[in-house]
Chain A
Amino acid sequence: MSSSQIEIQLIASIVAAACALPGVFLVLRKMSLISDAISHSILPGIVVGFFITQDLNSPLNILLAALTGIVTVILVEFIQKTGLVKEDTAIGLVFPAMFSIGVILIALNANDVHLDIDAVLVGELAFTPFDRMLINGIDLGPKALWIMGVILIVTISLLVTFFKELKISTFDEGLATALGFSPVVIHYGLMSIASVTTVGAFDAVGAILVVALMIAPAATVYLLTDNLKKLLMGSVVVGVFSAIAGYWVAHWLDATIAGAISTVLGIVFLMSYLFAPTRGVLSVLYRKRQQRKEVMLLTFLLHIQNHEEEEERHVNHLNEHINWHEVRAKSVLELATKNNLILIKTGLISLTPKGVDFTKQAIQYITDNERSEIETMKDELFLFRG
């Protein structure tokens, strides 16, 4: 690895970490799309700032662009308040308009602005090591590293200082207000951090992929844990891992680094989406199937208990009486036999004492409307789950 390769990976990791932290709160507060709106709307701010300062990385430019982001948030909220359109439409109207202004400004001044449209979309991570921080002629490393480093440190220190306030206001806004934390201050504080981070990351990863860096790590880890601290740490880990892995994918394909990072983020999220224990899709679907079968078992047991007549209890007539398909009926029967709830003698089904007991308790719980009790009862009585 050359030194510039190491620097690129370092910058990518810091950008990823700096994005992941505010991203967690955006996801938890159901404001993920605000990051999309901000990242698009800062473009005119960046372009105008560039006209004034002639330097994409000057602090003034970053401040100006971040201000544009906050103006966007205020504008969106203003439109929402007028009630002229529904909430999501307000976001959808503002950011394309702002982004269009930015793109047109770039196109009209193509000769003066060293920004090209591709860079707006995916950033120029590969070139970041060439823009050096020079003080008195001494090379202190890439500028982007310094800028994002400062943003990351500020974000972390604000997070540590106001952790309690953020936590309470995120999960229980009413309580936070009652305790005297101003929701407005916290809201706009968070928006400002998100805005500044987006502007800082814009150079490296472009307008659209900032969104991936912000919300994908948080969404990935959110399916794995309920603990806010673990969520924050986990998101940073996922972000940094994807940044480094993405760099090598891009290296291998000779393609855009930012695109590769968000592709890796996508794959990591997909893994978590599919395989997360208890919250992943597979386990949710498995649990749904299990519950469906167990409910059918219960209806079946009730049916048997309610009928003395032989024909109602005959194996061959089951699908006529409870309206089940043959396969389904068979699997329910199997489950019941495995759990010693029924006996089948010459095609006739009868409940075992344990089955009678189970059915009675189940009815009790259903009429008492304590559904959660049924789950503990299943745990006690079942040897095999559905």
Chain B
Amino acid sequence: MQVFFSYFKLLLEDYTLQIITLGTAILGASCGMLGSFAVLRKQSLLGDAISHAALPGIALAFLLLGTKNSMAILLGALISGLIGTFWIRGMIKNTRLKSDTALGLVLSIFFGVGMLLLTYIQKQPNANQAGLDKYLFGQAATLLISDVWLLGIVTSISFIVLLFFWKELKLLLFDADYTRTLGFNIQFLDILITSFIVLAIVLGLQTVGVVLMSAMLLAPAAAARQWTNKLWVMVLLAATFGAFSGVIGTGISASYSGLSTGPVIVLVASFFVIISFIFSPERGILFKQLRKIKNRKDLKLFKTLSLMYDIAQTHEDISHPHQIAILNNFQGYSTKTLKELEEQKLIRLNGKMWNMTKNGYQKAAQLFNQNTGANE
């Protein structure tokens, strides 16, 4: 806590820290926004492959242009990321290799080439090469005001484009065939959204790094998915989760020395995912389990009630009292369930006797009808 307070105090004073925080917030928001589409399109692992595939582009851009200017390097990353993406598509389309193999191949081979080039660059007699390995795990501290501008502009553009094509993209997500029959150009929409995902990944490399960038894309979206069934709510929530992961992660990693930003941001985002998985009211594991237990209990109650109904039916007066003991060889009842039934005014208890109320008889008859109706 102490660390956090001093961090926030610092945040108000320190210009660099403000820039970094703003940058990671924008990055997180744009990743969450575009990540929602990746997750819903089942392209989750494409992000992993693309981010790894960007590494040789980073190294080559430095090797050929001799500059560490982040624009030039991002351009290299973008090109090699796109080459990776299209190779994956080509492999799936033209050969018998499945998408998992194609993704794994591009991921590991491009990364291997990238590492080969990076280690080659490190051995070069050139004082300028240091710092390229920040692209492996990310170093938010290296964000400059120009980088934040770039992030802001690209995020705004992708936001506007998303709004502009909102209806079409939504349709594409949930029913691609229908979209095609309506006459929309699926291929265009597909390339549009994929390019923006690649762009978001490339922009995040400096902060989160090649290795863990995919989680930045997935985790906020996967967390947001648990809370809603509406696309726009999901996108907004994912952007919020992403922004918070970015800011909190950067804050933590800035408070300890020697921590790369990437892993910390990813852990914060994963924390959001765990919370969402467990506590979301509709889909969460906790409430699902509770509902399951309640359903099981209800079922037991109804079983007892229907047994009572069978007994009460044999007597002319339905409210004639019977002994509790005759329910004995039936497993579904306990004093607790009987009390619960009494609370619901379905039966009346009187010492060791029970009798059905009118209410209970009707309810049981309904249940009975439903059961026999379903069996016929």
Contact = CB atoms under 8 A, between A and B. Distances in A.
Given A92-B44, A92-B47, A215-B105, A259 B119 contact: yes
A92 B215 contact: yes
A299 B11 CA distance: 73
B107 interface: yes
Given A93-B222, A96-B270, A255-B123, A208 B107 contact: yes
Interface in B261-296: 262-264, 266-267, 270, 273, 277, 283, 285
B222 A33 contact: no
Contacts of B97: 27, 219, 222-223
B160 interface: no
Given A88-B42, A208-B107, A266-B109, A93 B270 contact: yes
Given A82-B285, A256-B116, A263 B109 contact: yes
A55 B212 CA distance: 27
A33 B103 contact: yes
Nearest to B284: A84
Interface string B19-48: 000000000000000000001001011011
Interface stretch (A9-17, A101-109, A182-190, A344-352): A101-109
Interface string A113-129: 00001100110000000
Nearest to B270: A97
B95 A273 contact: yes
Chain B interface size, as a band, is: 35 or more
Interface in B116-147: 116-120, 123, 133, 136-137
Interface stretch (A134-142, A277-285, A325-333): A277-285
Interface in A292-331: none
Interface string A56-78: 00000000000000000000000
A79 B52 CA distance: 25
Contacts of B215: 92-93, 96-97, 100
A50 interface: no
Residue of A104, A110, A284 contacting most chain B CB atoms (<10 Å): A104
A30 B101 CA distance: 7
B283 A84 contact: yes
A33 B39 CA distance: 17
A211 B116 contact: no
A33 B267 contact: no
A201 to B, nearest CB: 12
A210 B52 CA distance: 14
Contacts of B256: 108
Contact of A100 (B101, B123, B212): B212
B285 A89 contact: no
Given A256-B119, A262-B111, A32 B266 contact: no
Contact of B111 (A118, A209, A215, A255): A209
Interface in A248-296: 249-250, 253-256, 258-263, 265-266, 269, 273, 279-281, 284-285
12 contacts: A30-B101, A32-B98, A89-B44, A101-B263, A208-B211, A253-B116, A256-B115, A256-B116, A263-B116, A279-B96, A281-B95, A285-B94
